[in-house]
Amino acid sequence: MTDIATPTLQLDPDRLFPIDPGVRALARELYEPVADAPIYSPHGHVDPALLLANEPFGDPAELLITPDHYVLRLLHAVGVGLGDLGRPRLDGRSEPAPDGREIWRILCRNWHIFAGTPVRYWLESQLVEIFGLTARPSEATADQLYDELSELLLTEEFRPRPLFDRFKIKVLATTDDPADDLAAHRALAEDPTFHGRVLPTFRADAYLDPSAAGWSDRLRRLSEAAGTSTDRYTGLIEALRARRRYFAEHGCTATDTSPADTWGEPLPDAEAERIHAAGLAGTVSAAEAVAYRRNLFYQLAAMSADDGLVMQLHPGVHRSHHAPSLAAYGTDAGHDLPAVGGYTEPLRRILNDFGTDPTFRLVLFTVDETTFSREIAPLAGFYPSVYAGAPWWFLDTPAAILRYRAAVTDSTGFYKTSGFIDDTRAFLSIPARHDMSRRTDAAFLAELVATHQLEPAEAQAIARDLVSTIPIDVFRLPTE
Amino acid sequence: MTDIATPTLQLDPDRLFPIDPGVRALARELYEPVADAPIYSPHGHVDPALLLANEPFGDPAELLITPDHYVLRLLHAVGVGLGDLGRPRLDGRSEPAPDGREIWRILCRNWHIFAGTPVRYWLESQLVEIFGLTARPSEATADQLYDELSELLLTEEFRPRPLFDRFKIKVLATTDDPADDLAAHRALAEDPTFHGRVLPTFRADAYLDPSAAGWSDRLRRLSEAAGTSTDRYTGLIEALRARRRYFAEHGCTATDTSPADTWGEPLPDAEAERIHAAGLAGTVSAAEAVAYRRNLFYQLAAMSADDGLVMQLHPGVHRSHHAPSLAAYGTDAGHDLPAVGGYTEPLRRILNDFGTDPTFRLVLFTVDETTFSREIAPLAGFYPSVYAGAPWWFLDTPAAILRYRAAVTDSTGFYKTSGFIDDTRAFLSIPARHDMSRRTDAAFLAELVATHQLEPAEAQAIARDLVSTIPIDVFRLPTE
Amino acid sequence: MTDIATPTLQLDPDRLFPIDPGVRALARELYEPVADAPIYSPHGHVDPALLLANEPFGDPAELLITPDHYVLRLLHAVGVGLGDLGRPRLDGRSEPAPDGREIWRILCRNWHIFAGTPVRYWLESQLVEIFGLTARPSEATADQLYDELSELLLTEEFRPRPLFDRFKIKVLATTDDPADDLAAHRALAEDPTFHGRVLPTFRADAYLDPSAAGWSDRLRRLSEAAGTSTDRYTGLIEALRARRRYFAEHGCTATDTSPADTWGEPLPDAEAERIHAAGLAGTVSAAEAVAYRRNLFYQLAAMSADDGLVMQLHPGVHRSHHAPSLAAYGTDAGHDLPAVGGYTEPLRRILNDFGTDPTFRLVLFTVDETTFSREIAPLAGFYPSVYAGAPWWFLDTPAAILRYRAAVTDSTGFYKTSGFIDDTRAFLSIPARHDMSRRTDAAFLAELVATHQLEPAEAQAIARDLVSTIPIDVFRLPTE
């Protein structure tokens, strides 16, 4: 791109607020009381072992680039190989492991491609707010920034636990396999020197598709964890129930699932049993696998209606679109892509059976924003069990959050939305993401006040509730 | 939610206008000349008997809550039972009929859930503009408001007819079954003390699906009304034609239909006759029922091309999504939900046959806003018979109306849109809904002026036309 | 419509800029350096013979109305017959050829129907900026404008070549059939008095569907042009390759294709050969035709991966929706309509095979704006070969361009977008269209700066790159 001067990196205190000075002042007033409110993070992918070990983070690239598929995808999109960004090859071919400093230089050299994206916003927030750096990334400043970051990351205050405290994270939910023994969660809960709450989330997706590679192996591991045979369908159901109890005993309040579609249709036990056997025998047909998956999805809803674990639904993603990248670098490498949504018809059976059950709770997320006004908000606007999940993944951006609020508020208001989720693997980005959400919600509320659709006092109350009572209620979080 | 002070309820004169002071002033100038213009309401569900009888309205809950599915759905969504809101059970089970005051308290206690929704906007408008009340609804003010409203509703000026005059309703269209004798419409037309125009609308949806429960009974009633046997398909066609003539003689200018999809495909008469017989015999297959329905939809278009009744299309709704609520409380209980739209391909045959016929007119509405820029505006932007219907149902909100104008104006301008429809069962909400639309259109036009895309004089003319010549032309309304 | 005064026609220098005075000033600063930048027009439909002959344009209607389907469609939508607008009948029926002045009067009389549309914006820009006229079109001014325009069009400076220079068009790409001998392109390239670059674009759509009328005739013509028999499938492939080489030798850098869907799936050669023979024999089935078309689409991608011609994809259009208008007036008569998009799944095979190939390049356009945030931006945000094409056809409007930037920037930034394309048959509208795009991009960037999401210097650089380095890079344009 055209060369530009490299100004100092700084965060304007009014960023993301509306432009009109009066409305900007309103937004500031709405934002300030929640700017430093504790963070409830009810959905994400941070590894609990990170907090348990509390070791220094690695080099800056290993911390901020290689594990973050948001960053990877945009660098890949301009032609940088995933291997050059530090992703190890899984297919046996050898590729020289790049140096962290070289990866960092790639990021800085390509800083312009992130202009206007939320990834840029989050990275800048982290550099300034967490590390106090002031050089704007560019080819010229890459080494200086790398050195400064590397030095800071060796200090005590930049280890995971001090950051956890500094971020004011009150609750952090992880995402976990039902067969997981939750050792890290248990150790953290028992550690008298750690005061946060790190809750597991039950995600059973790996057990839903009897035609998937490795299904029977996973069933065997689950069987061992649950102490119940999973050779039969009824055994699998029992094992899942047992593991849900185990998770709940260790603080879990929610499940997560990300099915290929959202159809939930129960099968007669005998039919499920028959397909289960075919799955173990490796003779299951595509149609049988779909029927089995939709049945298990229905059964998971039924279990939630029974044990009260909040059911999160993150559907509609084409996973690992680029087969060569999948083979070489595995999953979560930046090429998961949004699919067309669909909720109203597919969820009819589950909502007819459990939609008004006060124990059952279903939070609907989407990567297809056309569903906000057409499906998700209308569903949340009738069914007491349904909540409109916050904008997710490709849509957790300042612009898309405003579109989300504009699209869902009409049909379901604020109190049937979920509160923000960060859904991140990048631990250091958590405060920037929540702050972005708070600023954007303040901006939206300020516009409603400025157009006389809301009283200032009520807007203030809503801004507060959106970061406290709402996520606590929706996800049934502990408050001590 | 967090407690907030209860400010006085008041309506800002600049509500819904753009924020920038200059553009706000422009919007005000565009709005003022149309603020008190007469209301043409070419599509709605008010019962004409209400105006004929002119009895006092019942208690506040019976007037403002129980019959309004917009209000019901949001209260239901936070866990209030439909029975607790006054909906009688249809399934024989007994449930204590709740007191109107108790229902009103539920509404006031849950006032915060309506924040930012159009339902709140309409209710506040009614309380202030129609009743002159100033207490903001809350648990603390519920009884006071209930008492004030109850007292006012007993006075002469709050009966239906004085309100009709006060609202300046020039034309009010109802929605009526073809077998209806239109007695109330006739009596109103003949009543020398009533000066408004209340026009019937011909809605034949109940006769389109030969697999629907009660189809043959309805055919029998229609046969009696039309004086023509409906035992055969050709007889049904004749009966529908006869009833259209009868409706037209009583002031009807339009039909309405809300099919499951918008495919219109003619069948050979012999095939239609065969399926008709199967329908009466109860042996019709699902595929035959669809073919029969799509044929009748086509025939209704052909009739419109013949008799000039404007064809309104309100498709794409999953009716009564929650079977238990349907069984207990019947239709229109708040759980109709939007479906995915589809117009361009399905309407191809009808538009090829009648799309340039000056007698034929088709107004397309949607609950799927993705169709505004992709289907509806492009169709209205080519076919002289097609008009882009105003935002409807889940989309008749300040935010969605702005999105609608932004999405359709590019491809079809203002003069191929329909003018606002309120589509309401809630008689008292009619002025607030039309006022919302006038304000929002003024806001949209003001932005075009402020960005130099439109001259002020032309914007003024458009604002006027949108509430007068446009709906009159599109719906072929009488002007005396 | 209501009569309005006819103000003088003038273009505000701040048109399309944001309303807030501060942001408007920012937008102005971003716009000014690019306001007069040269135009790169990498996709359009101007006839190169126009520039070769350099004859005076015909009368104003022939220049501005009859050939422009944007104008035709809106006049048709209010009931003007296509024949009355100068479209000749193709079906043998005789219709009096209307006088240019009469057509011009129709446009002026219906000026109000264009209010708020981009068509109005472009026409006004042309009248003022190119012709220096000041009367606002209306019934009263129609004749005066017609006379003024007619007189100007006879002068030397309003011939095609002086306008080409005045418009500062650096590169103009046309759209051409593979069998075309490119005589006009060659003559222009060899003409020492013409200094512009007019590049052909290879569009092979006419050869993809073996069930289409005239397919074998077209194959014969292609065979003659390529000097290779197309009697067999392998011959067709060879002929297409030969013509691509020929096009590239004459400056072509890109292909264009507008398939019914975007599925690309290779067939075994023997199967393709079999269907090819069936196509020539007239015995091909619908399913075979689809398979053959999807295979050829895949082969075109493979050829692009080989020869580096940039592949433009303009899919998802229902062509010639109104059969009677097609029969009477032919294609491009204003009744092509948008279809529902779909890219992520259909393109999976092509992107798996060529998506990271540095030679391969795919620019995705759409008429379904729901695909911007859900499909196009995420694909461009991962695959190095994929670029997010500028808003096209129904969406190349100020409002839709802002929605496009808001929808795609989050997932793919600015540097994986294509730069503006005008896609126009209306030569005189080229500057107005590019200017509209530059103003709108400046407005978008100014908002990012005003909300502190972008530094002013970087916004300036992006504004510049969007009209120069980006289209040059994406379309591999010559810069001399």
ipTM score of complex: 0.89
**Residue C15 maps to a domain:** no
Domain end point (choices C131, C157, C183): C157
Residue B3: the pLDDT is 47
Say if CB A128 and CB A12 are below 8 A apart: no
Model confidence over A430-451: pLDDT tens digits? 999 999 999 999 999 999 999 9
Q: What is the spatial distance between Cα B399 and Cα B16, in angstroms, rounded to a whole number?
A: 9
Which among B386, B392, B366, B351 is positioned nearest to B259, based on CA atoms? B366
What's the N-to-C CA distance of chain A in angstroms? Answer: 52
Tell whether B264 and B348 lie within a shared domain. Answer: yes
Q: What is the spatial distance between Cα A278 and Cα A268, in angstroms, rounded to a whole number?
A: 16
**Residue C16 maps to a domain:** no
Residue C2: the pLDDT is 43
Residue A1: the pLDDT is 42
Model confidence over C39-93: pLDDT tens digits? 999 999 999 999 999 999 989 999 999 988 889 999 998 889 999 999 888 888 8
Domain that includes residue C106, residue range: 57-157
B-chain residue closest to A459, CA distance: B115
Q: What is the spatial distance between Cα B379 and Cα B417, in angstroms, rounded to a whole number?
A: 11
Going by pLDDT thresholds of 50, 70 and 90, the confidence category of residue A5 is low
Q: What is the spatial distance between Cα C417 and Cα C372, in angstroms, rounded to a whole number?
A: 11
- The encoded tokens of residue C61 equal 């209607």
Does A382 contact B334 at a Cβ distance shorter than 8 Å? yes
Tell whether C239 and C337 lie within a shared domain. Answer: yes
Give residue for tokens 């909400």: B429
**Residue C66 maps to a domain:** yes
Does A321 contact C348 at a Cβ distance shorter than 8 Å? yes
Share of chain B above pLDDT 90, in %: 79
Phi, psi of C414 (to 5 degrees): -95, -30
Residue B105: the pLDDT is 97
Say if CB A214 and CB A265 are below 8 A apart: no
> Over chain B, what is the mean pLDDT?
93
Going by pLDDT thresholds of 50, 70 and 90, the confidence category of residue B5 is low
| Neighbouring residues of B198: CB distance < 8 A, sequence distance ≥ 6 | B48, B51, B172, B173, B174, B184, B185, B188, B189, B251
Give residue for tokens 């091309």: B305
Q: Outline where C330-387 has alpha helix (H).
A: 348-354, 371, 377-380
Say if CB A349 and CB A383 are below 8 A apart: no
B-chain residue closest to A341, CA distance: B340
**Residue A7 maps to a domain:** no
Instruction: Specify the amino acid at residue A24.
Output: R
Tell whether A76 and A215 lie within a shared domain. Answer: no
Tell whether A366 and A258 lie within a shared domain. Answer: yes
Give residue for tokens 């989330």: A201
Tell whether A137 and A187 lie within a shared domain. Answer: no
Tell whether A338 and A447 lie within a shared domain. Answer: yes
Residues of A in contact with B118 (CB under 8 A): 410
Q: Is the pLDDT of residue B387 over 80?
A: yes
Higher pLDDT, A211 or C425: A211
Say if CB B77 and CB B321 are below 8 A apart: no
User: C176: which DSSP letter?
Assistant: B
Q: What is the spatial distance between Cα A338 and Cα C409, in angstroms, rounded to a whole number?
A: 16
Q: Is the pLDDT of residue A3 over 70?
A: no
Q: What is the domain-level CATH number for residue C140?
A: 1.10.2020.10
Higher pLDDT, A5 or B179: B179
Does A74 contact C381 at a Cβ distance shorter than 8 Å? yes
Residue B476: the pLDDT is 94
Q: What is the domain-level CATH number for residue B194?
A: 3.20.20.140
* Closest Cβ opposite residue A76 in set C373, C374, C384: C384
C-chain residue closest to A124, CA distance: C453
Domain end point (choices C157, C179, C194): C157
Residues of A in contact with C30 (CB under 8 A): none
Cα three-residue angle C71-C72-C78, rounded to 5 degrees: 100
Tell whether C313 and C389 lie within a shared domain. Answer: yes
> In b/e form, how buried is each residue of C152-177, taking b as 16+ CB within 10 angstroms?
bbeeeebbbbebbeebebbbbbbbbb
Model confidence over A111-150: pLDDT tens digits? 999 988 989 999 999 999 999 999 999 999 999 999 999 9
Residue B4: the pLDDT is 54
**DSSP helix/strand/coil, C387:** strand
Cα three-residue angle C57-C63-C67, rounded to 5 degrees: 130
Give residue for tokens 């060659």: C186
The minimum CA-CA distance between A9 and chain C, rounded to whole Å, is 9
Question: Number of B:C CB contacts under 8 A?
Answer: 147
Which among B466, B404, B388, B302 is positioned nearest to C78, based on CA atoms? B388
Three-class secondary structure assignment of chain B? CCCCCCCCCCCCCCCCCCCCHHHHHHHHHHHHHHHCCCEEECCCCCCHHHHHHCCCCCCHHHHHCCCCHHHHHHHHHCCCCCHHHCCCCCCCCCCCCCCHHHHHHHHHHCHHHHCCCHHHHHHHHHHHHHCCCCCCCCCCCHHHHHHHHHHHHCCHHHCHHHHHHHCCEEEEECCECCCCCCHHHHHHHHCCCCCCEEECCEECHHHCCCCCCCHHHHHHHHHHHHCCCCCCHHHHHHHHHHHHHHHHHCCCCEEEECCCCCCCCCCCHHHHHHHHHHHHHCCCCHHHHHHHHHHHHHHHHHHHHHHCCEEEECCCEECCCCHHHHHHHCCCCCCCEECCCCCCCCCHHHHHHHCCCCCCCEEECCCCCHHHHHHHHHHHCCCCCEEECCCCHHHCCHHHHHHHHHHHHHHHCCCCECCCCCCCCCHHHHHHHHHHHHHHHHHHHHHHHHCCCCCHHHHHHHHHHHCCHHHHHHCCCCCC
**Residue B14 maps to a domain:** no
> Over chain A, what is the mean pLDDT?
93
Does C116 contact B413 at a Cβ distance shorter than 8 Å? yes
**Residue C6 maps to a domain:** no
Share of chain A above pLDDT 70, in %: 99
Disruptive mutation site among A74, A119, A369, A402 for chain C (greatest number of C CBs within 10 Å): A74
Chains in contact with C, where contact means 3 or more Cβ–Cβ distances below 8 Å, are A, B
Tell whether A72 and A187 lie within a shared domain. Answer: no
Higher pLDDT, B330 or B373: B373
Tell whether A320 and A368 lie within a shared domain. Answer: yes
Give residue for tokens 């206008």: B17
Q: Enumerate residue ranges in chain C where pLDDT < 50.
A: 1-3
* Closest Cβ opposite residue C79 in set B379, B384, B469: B384
Residue A479: the pLDDT is 86
| Neighbouring residues of B70: CB distance < 8 A, sequence distance ≥ 6 | B118, B119, B122, B334, B426
Residue B6: the pLDDT is 58
Domain end point (choices A126, A158, A190): A158
Does B358 contact C79 at a Cβ distance shorter than 8 Å? yes
- What are the CA-CA distances from residue B204 to residues A282, B201, B343 (Å)? 53, 10, 20
Residue C6: the pLDDT is 58
Tell whether B232 and B175 lie within a shared domain. Answer: yes
Residue B432: the pLDDT is 92
Residues of C in contact with A316 (CB under 8 A): none
What is the count of structural domains for chain C? 2
Q: What is the spatial distance between Cα A146 and Cα C202, in angstroms, rounded to a whole number?
A: 48
Tell whether A200 and A285 lie within a shared domain. Answer: yes
**Residue C282 maps to a domain:** yes
Tell whether C214 and C126 lie within a shared domain. Answer: no
**Residue A5 maps to a domain:** no
B-chain residue closest to A387, CA distance: B77
Sign of CA dihedral A353, A355, A356, A362: positive
Going by pLDDT thresholds of 50, 70 and 90, the confidence category of residue A32 is very high
Model confidence over B183-195: pLDDT tens digits? 999 999 999 999 8
**DSSP helix/strand/coil, C376:** helix
Share of chain B above pLDDT 70, in %: 99
Q: What is the spatial distance between Cα A37 and Cα A26, in angstroms, rounded to a whole number?
A: 18
Does B5 contact A415 at a Cβ distance shorter than 8 Å? no
Which among A193, C366, A238 is positioned nearest to B370, based on CA atoms? C366
Q: Go through chain C and tell me how many residues it has.
A: 480
pTM for the model = 0.90
Q: Phi/psi zone of residue A391: left (φ > 0), alpha (ψ -120 to 50 degrees), beta? A: beta
